[in-house]
């Protein structure tokens, strides 16, 4: 079932099993607001078990940093804006992983990580990443980091 994320009325639809469901829903709504404001793109998600291609693509890219998350992927989305392929996984523990992959070979390509307010930093990030903090009306405090993609996917 496709879910159109509403950034005006935050809902935990699809994220109910997360221990930080409200914060994760706020994070998802924050992303939806960003894409609407910048690109007029309607941010929609699907259950992760119905989109194994997106999960596999992101997990393959994460192997560049020897990262594999044990937490359950709850939702995904994949779309293109301004010749950039964007893909997200929202995990049960409150982690959001996104891939920004320019379709222009000379363009920017990176993986971003956002941690929901109230979640602990996963062990996979220990001694690998520093996190910047961002305040969000929808999501509280978001901690974020990223790495530049080296390979071609």
Convert the pLDDT of each residue in 4-54 to its tens digit.
999 999 999 999 999 999 999 999 999 999 999 999 999 999 999 999 999
Please give the Cα distance from 139 to 92 (Å, whole number): 16
β-strand partners of 132: 144
Environment class of residue 88 by beta-carbon count within 10 Å: exposed (0-12), middle (13-18) or buried (19+)? buried
Q: Is the pLDDT of residue 153 over 90?
A: yes
Q: Is the pLDDT of residue 101 over 90?
A: yes
Summarize the confidence of residues 75-80 as an average pLDDT: 98
Q: The whole model's pTM is what?
A: 0.96
Both tokens of 59, joined, read 């997990």
Please give the Cα distance from 64 to 58 (Å, whole number): 11
């Amino acid at each position: 079932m496709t879910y159109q994320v509403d950034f005006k009325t935050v809902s935990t639809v699809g994220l109910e099993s997360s221990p930080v469901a409200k914060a994760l829903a706020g994070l998802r709504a924050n992303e939806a607001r960003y894409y609407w404001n910048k690109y007029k793109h309607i941010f929609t998600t699907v259950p992760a078990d119905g989109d194994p291609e997106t999960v596999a693509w992101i997990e393959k890219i994460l192997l560049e940093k020897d990262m594999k998350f044990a937490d359950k992927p709850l939702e995904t989305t994949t779309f293109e804006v301004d010749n950039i392929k964007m893909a997200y996984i929202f995990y049960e523990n409150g982690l959001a992983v996104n891939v920004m992959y320019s379709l222009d070979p000379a363009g920017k390509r990176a993986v971003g990580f956002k941690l929901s307010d109230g979640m602990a930093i996963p062990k996979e990030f220990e001694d690998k990443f520093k996190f910047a903090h961002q305040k969000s009306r929808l999501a509280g405090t978001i901690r974020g980091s990223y790495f530049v993609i080296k390979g071609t996917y």
